[in-house]
Structure formats: structure tokens, C-alpha cells
Amino acid sequence: MKILVTGSNGQVGSELRELAKAYPNIDFLFTDRATLDISDKIMSARVIKEFRPDYLINAAAYTAVDKAEEDSLDAIKINATAIEILSEICAQHNIWMMHISSDYVYHIHPDRPLLETDETKAQGVYAKTKLDGDQVLLNSKSEYCILRTSWVYSYYGNNFVKTMLRLGRERDELTIVADQIGSPTYAKDIAETLLKMIHQIDQSNERSQLIGVYNFSNGGITHWADFARKIFEIENIDCLVKETSTEAYGAAAPRPKWSVLDKKLINSSFGIEIKDWEDSLKDCLNRLKSDK
């Protein structure tokens, strides 16, 4: 089996690099923007045709939510236009595309976990471009799985967990938003899930029935302030967390107040077990601690 991974220097891409060591029977090609600019149709076609993958994991994305408000052209190019390019090439060469999307596409508050079939009301440039990318795949002729996830952090890259570890040790108190509800998701768990899904697809006699949108996040529900408190509790960091509202925080881009995802479909379709967010957080913090 051959798997091409885009965005391999990002959080999920980096976790896939690490996991690849445990899959000697899979031939991986890890690419970044320098080796595969997914918004470049000619370059994308050449790299994909030369490697001839069975599966393409698109872990590349424009994820700077606030910056996207002023940099919409780049966000559109990476989150939407590039998906159209990749899906067309994948369709031509019978390559199954695994695409990572976002809870931001929903932006509704039904007071229950969000279903894949719920309406989407994306707000802000980042959210709208991610939804546009999803729509491209939904209307394409390629075989695909769209994985919508939330609140991603990792051992790699810059993320909320690492920021809290740094600021918690530098300051006596922090003020953090407490009215956005969701589930933190460990990029390592996303990477493992993608590879498990690919294995199931590869073994299936009815692959076409697995095409579609799937929600995935870690289990449990929290808000950002309590997420920070849990990080400080586990690491014995003495930092007071004060709560604020989304409106008072005043970020440039709108944030969904409700990001709790229903994961029953991915469990029933692929047998994916959902790890609790606190357990996954401990795993990530242990890895970070081992570097010291």
C-alpha cells in the first residue's frame, strides 16, 4: 500500500510521520509546501502521478483563524481551491482521498452533539473556506472521507496545550474563554484514526458505502478555561484561571460556541474507539515531559 501525506510538517502530519515507523508494509510519501504545493495543479499532478499512491491524506490546511480574516486569498487557495485540484487528480487515478475538516463548518447550537447531517452555517473566512473544501469533495467524482474534528493539539507544532504550559509558568493568572464548549482532540489520535480507516477501506468489499463525512474528536466535554485548568492540574502549575466570554475576548474571527461532535457514525462504520480527552491529554503531556 502507498499513502501520500500532504502538510506533513503540521500537527497531524507530524504525528503520521511518527506512526509510520510502526507500519513497515506501507510506503509513505510525506510532503510539505516546498515539495508539494497543493494549490499548484501542475506540481500536484506530477508528484501524485510519479508516486502513484493508493490513498492521499490531506493534512494541509490554512488554520490561522484570525489571520484568515485579512488573508482570505491564501485561505481560499489552500482550504478550497487546492481541494478541487486534489480531488480531480485523485478521481483520475482512482486514489482514495482522506481530508481533514473542522467543527467550524457547523456553527450551530442544537444542545446535543453535532451530527454529520446537521446544517452548516460557517462564519468567518476560515470556516467558510473549510466548508467550501468539504463541498468540493461532496460534489466530486473521487472516493473520499471527510474527517471533521475539533480543538486539535499535539506534541508537535504550536497549539493551546503548549501555549498554556508556557504562559502558566510565566504568569500568576490567565483569563480564558469559558463559553465555547467542545472536546479537545489529540492529533496523534486523529492520525491513528485515519490509518485505521484506510485499513478498513482497503479490506472492504463495499468501499463505496464508506464514502462520506465523519465526525471525530476525543470523548468528553469541556470549555477552554477548564481545559487550561486540567493542564495546570496535571503539571502542578500554580496559575489561576479566570473566565471570560467570547465577546469580551474580542477575537477577529467568529468562534463556534458549540463544538461537541457526535461520533457514533465513525464508530459504527469503522469500529473507531473514542478515547477520553483527559487520557489523551495526559499522553501528550508525558511525551512533552520526556523531552526535558
The set of catalytic residues is 126
SS3 18: helix
Do residues 6 and 59 touch, judged by C-beta distance below 8 A? yes
Q: How many residues does the chain have?
A: 292
Of 124, 136, 34, 126, which is closest to residue 74 (Cα–Cα)?
Answer: 126
In 10 A of CB 257, how many CB atoms?
Answer: 16
The residues with which 181 forms a beta bridge, in sequence order, are 223, 258
Grid cell 474563554 in the structure block, residue: 177
Do residues 174 and 242 touch, judged by C-beta distance below 8 A? yes
Distance (Å, whole) CA 43 – CA 52 = 14
Beta pairing, strands 2-6 & 55-58: parallel
Grid cell 499512491 in the structure block, residue: 53
SS3 21: coil
How many helices (H) and strands (E) the chain has is answered by 11, 12
Output the nine-digit C-alpha cell for 137: 469533495
First to last CA, the chain: 37
Question: What is the DSSP code string of 167-221?
Answer: HHHH-SEEEEE-S-EE--EEHHHHHHHHHHHHHHHHH-S-GGGG-EEEE---BS-
In 10 A of CB 137, how many CB atoms?
Answer: 24
